[in-house]
Structure formats: C-alpha cells, structure tokens
Amino acid sequence: MPELQAARGASLIASETSGDPTTGASPGDAPRRRLSAPALAFVVAAVALAVDQVTKVLAVRELSDRAPVEVVGSLFQLRLLRNPGAAFSAGASLTPLISVVAVIAVVVGIYFASRVGHRGWAVGLGLLLAGVTGNLVDRMLRAPGPFRGHVVDFFELPHWPVFNIADMCIDAAGVIFVVLLIRGIRLDGSRHEEQAREDS
C-alpha cells in the first residue's frame, strides 16, 4: 500500500508539473492568446479616440483666450483653433456635407475593421477609425450645432495647418496603408504573390 500511494503521488505531481503527458508539452509551451485582428482594430480605435477627446478638452480648457504656448520655441506651439472645414481649413462652408461624409466613412471603417485578417491592417484601420470619429464627434457635439460643429485643433508647426490627435491618426493610418500595399499584403493577410501562384 505505501508503494501504491507513493506511485499515485508521483503520478499526480508529474501531471501537475509536466503539463500534458500525451504530448510532453509543459504549461509554458502553450501559445499565448492574442487579440484577434478585428479586436485589435477596435482596441486601437478606442484608445486613440479617447486620447483625442481628452486632449481636446484640455486644449479648450487651458488654451482658450491665450496666446500660443511655445513648447519647442517657434518650431512647435500650442494654439487653439476651431476649424469649421476639413483638412487645411478647406470647405468651411460645407461643414454639414463633410459631417455626412464622415458618418459614411465611420460606417465603412467599422465594416472593414470587423473583417480584417492582418494585424498591420488592423492597426491602420483602428487609427483611421479613431481619427475620422474624433473629428466627427466635434462636428456633432460642438458649437454651433450638430453637423455644423467646429473641430478643435491645437498643435502648430511652422508652415503647416494647426492640427490635432485625430488628424495625426489619419495620417499615420495612411502611411501604414501605403507600406502594406507596397509589400503586397491584402486586408485578409494574404499576399499578391500567393494569389498569383494559386491562379497560375
């Protein structure tokens, strides 16, 4: 009996410390679970959107009725600007139309983000979704009213329009998309070369 109990004890300890006895894999060998590509896209979008909105609230609170704040001399300043138009303040009289286009862009972005199969595309789509949504929130909720609201901009560089975090997200997404397209990576993660081999 003592020998049987000892054998049982040894077997129990081995099963707890060595992992799966049928494969020999240990717990440390198990692959870590990662976010799926669609989940990553929406997490990136949520975080970037939150940063955009928080910085805009701070900008309105701290920079209203103030002269530009020099961060790095005249190379980088903080100056509050309310933009009724699109990029580069273009289309100031078309704010309602710009808002409608932004709504469509958000819907399209959500569609593709929910179906993305590559993590690089997921990050790019998440940033794009955050950027478009961030500026759309301003147009919907800020003065002078829904679909006519002015976007809060506050980063200023020499010889460049004043911009915000949402604009930075859109630009970063564009760079990521260009790199992925140059590398021939599709939205689902496949490559153009692989598709060509399958078709030949």
3-state secondary structure (DSSP) of residue 160: coil
If DSSP codes are grouped into helix, strand and coil, which group holds residue 144? Answer: coil
Q: How far apart are CA 73 and CA 12, in angstroms?
A: 68
User: Of 167, 171, 188, 199, which one is the catalytic site residue?
Assistant: 167
The verdict on whether 153 is a catalytic residue reads yes
Catalytic choice (29, 65, 153, 199): 153
The answer to whether 125 and 116 are in contact (CB under 8 A) is yes
How far is 75 from 192, CA to CA, in rounded Å?
A: 42
d(CA 21, CA 99): 60
- Quote the CA–CA distance of 148 and 107 in Å, as a whole number: 19
- In angstroms, rounded to a whole number, what is the distance separating the alpha carbons of residues 138 and 122? 24
Cβ neighbors of 154 (< 8 A, separation 6 or more) are 55, 56, 59, 63, 78, 79, 80, 81, 162, 164
Measured distance CA(48)–CA(129) in Å, rounded:
9
Query: Which residues are part of the catalytic machinery?
Result: 153, 167
